[in-house]
Each structure stands twice: as C-alpha cells, then as structure tokens.
Structure 1
Amino acid sequence: MPAQTCSPRPALSERGIGGYTGAALFVVCAAVVALVRRRKYTEWADRAARAGKFDFLQDRAVTLRNWRRANRWWLLAAFLVAVGSSFALPGAGGPALAGVGVGLWLKAAWLGRRERRDDALLWVRTDWAGTGHPVGKKVKGYRTTGTAAGDAVPGGARRRR
C-alpha cells in the first residue's frame, strides 16, 4: 500500500481553481472598470466649456485624496472581502482588486490620450465634485484649460520642472 502524505487542505477549493478564478476575475474586473461610464466621459469632454475666471478647478490628486477619505470604509471592506475569500478560493480576491486598479489606470490613460489629442486639460469644478465624487450626481460636466495653463500635463500628472 503506497504511503500517503498528510497535508492540510488550506481552503474549500484547490489552489489551482483559485488561481484560474483570480486570473479570470482580473481580466473581467479590468475590462468592466475601464469601459464603465466611458460614454458619459466622452459626452462631457465633447461639450466641455472653457473654464471661466471664477471657476475653482481642483487637481485630480486632491479629488483622489478626497474620494479615498470619503470611501475609506468601502476600501477597507473590499480588502477584508479579498482576504476572507482566500479561505474559499485562494488567490482569487487579490487579482480581482488588482484588476479594478488596472481598469482605473486604463481609464486614466484613455482620458490622458484624449487630452493630448484635443490639447486641452479636463477639469471638474470643485463645488460640483463635493466630497470627492468626480462623476457624482452633482457634476454637470468638464471645464477645459489649455495645456500651458498650470502645472498639470494631460492625464493629470504633475508637470516636471
């Protein structure tokens, strides 16, 4: 009779299943996040008005910081769900969260390419963004400035000096 090794089973399913599920979730999450609301952004960019003298424009880094502060409990819950899912499907939750991050990066790169093509930076007015919701119900559209208007470059990155 062959000797059997006694290894503890780490989860409800095998690691291979979790790995394949994680890879599929990565691709699906990245695609969904990258493509969601793209039509809304395109419409806003097409009908964007030139920023007026009294418009308060907010840097994307500030908007992102405000969004993170407003949604930190949701981000913590997503992290805990990813950790908790490792008991059922090891290696599936982390790639899903990574897919969301890649999708957001792809969306930002797409907006940056559009800004370069149009040679205009897209902004959301501070009073419309509120507490860090750059595409919330209060936001009515984008404002534009030229690329030489400030210290930002297309895509929202800081201008290197």
Structure 2
Amino acid sequence: MARGGQGLARVAVVVRAGAAPMWWLGVFAAGIGVLVPGVTGRRIGVMAGAVLFIVTAAVVAYRRRRRYGALMRGAARAGKHDVLQDRAVTVRNWRRGHRWWLVLAFAAALGSAFAVPTAGGMLLAGAGVGLWLKSAWIGRRERAEDALLWVRVDWLTARGGRPAGKAVKAYRGTGIAAGDAAPGGARRRADAMA
C-alpha cells in the first residue's frame, strides 16, 4: 500500500460474513435438539425457540443502526492508493477470527437442547438471519446513496472485527461498481459485472 493507502474491507460483507455459518449451525443444532425430549418437552422447546428466533433476528438486525448511520453520513471518498479487499478474503478473515466463538456457540446450542429442545439452535439461526437483514439494510442505503461503504482493515482487526465498533472512526466510500461484491455484500452476478 504505497503512498499512504489503506486496506479497505466492505462494511456489508463484514456484517454478512457470520450470517451463513450462524444460520446453518443453528439449523443443525435445532434439528438435533428435536430428537432430545429435554426438561421442558419438545412442544415448549419449539415454541420458545420460535420466539427466540424472531426476537434475536430483530435485535441483531436493528442493533447499532444509529452508529452505522452516523458512520455512513460521515463517509469520506476512498483515495486512489487505497486497496479494496476482495469479498472472499474479507469473509475468510472474519470466519477465521471468529471460528472458536462459532464452535462455542454451536456447542452451547446443542447443550441447551437437554433443557429446552431446539431453543438454542433457533436463537443461533435467528442471529444469522438478523445479520442478513442488517446487510440488506446497508445495501439499500448503498443503493440510495449510489456509493459502497468500506472500513479500514486495521480498525477491524483492532477490536474483534466489528464494522461499527469503537475502533472504527469513519467509513470510506467508492462508486457503486467498485470491488467484487454487490450492494449488501452478496457476490456480484456475472451479468452485472459485464
């Protein structure tokens, strides 16, 4: 990164990176949890799990929106020497940095099935859905502003990979066609890139 350029990762990609593993680990844990009668019984476990799924998805999706909004409004234009990180690299870095947390969350979801069947798994899956919803909200903001949002990689690694954490001072913006991820952090389709 010559001449003062910074490594930048897409905000929406960082938010979205944990969605798929949380969803699939949660669904798997909930599926195993159905096989265990548990202390409360399956019916209560499934009903409690459904409530936890909805509440968790809503809380994760709306958490820290004010902070994200403030960072979005103050986004400066990315410099020509800034290096835009590929989507796959951002996702891989986030998942490597959080792999033990994901393993512990999965183990806790499985263990909770002996008390309340499926509830822990549905909570974990709800967190994944909440992250998808948050990245979709960021994508709508990016489309409305016609600019993609980026965060410095060194700020991400400073505090556990949170794109709206205390270490993050500001976002950077680029044109809507920059990078290899669409607004919201999904992969760009081949026809959209042509």
Aligning the two structures, in what range does the TM-score lie when normalised by the shorter sequence? 0.7 to 0.9
Of the three residues 181, 184, 191, the one matched with 1:152 is 181
Q: Percent identity?
A: 65
* Pairs aligned (count): 153
Establish whether residue 100 from structure 1 lines up as the match of residue 127 from structure 2: yes
Which has the larger helix fraction?
2
Task: Tell whether the 8 Å contact from 1:26 to 1:100 is kept in structure 2 after alignment.
Answer: yes
> 2:120 corresponds to which letter in structure 1?
G
Establish whether residue 29 from structure 1 lines up as the match of residue 38 from structure 2: no
Task: Tell whether the 8 Å contact from 1:11 to 1:90 is kept in structure 2 after alignment.
Answer: yes
When Rg is computed on C-alpha atoms for both structures, the one with the higher figure is 1
CA shift for structure 1 position 60: 4.4
Question: For residues 155 and 15 of structure 1, do their structure 2 counterparts lie closer, same or farther at Cα, with a shift above 3 Å needed?
Answer: same
Task: Tell whether the 8 Å contact from 2:87 to 2:181 is kept in structure 1 after alignment.
Answer: no
Establish whether residue 75 from structure 1 lines up as the match of residue 119 from structure 2: no
CA shift for structure 1 position 26: 0.3
Show the counterpart of 1:128.
155
Distance 1:31 1:149 in 2: 30
Task: Tell whether the 8 Å contact from 1:55 to 1:125 is kept in structure 2 after alignment.
Answer: no
Following superposition of structure 1 onto structure 2, how do residues 6-21 of structure 1 map, counting pairs within 5 Å? 10-21=37-48
> 1:12 corresponds to which letter in structure 2?
V
CA shift for structure 1 position 71: 1.4
For structure 2, the residue ranges without an aligned partner over 5 or more in a row are: 1-35
Distance 1:35 1:127 in 2: 25
Q: Alpha carbon RMSD of aligned pairs, Å?
A: 1.8
For structure 1, the residue ranges without an aligned partner over 5 or more in a row are: 1-8
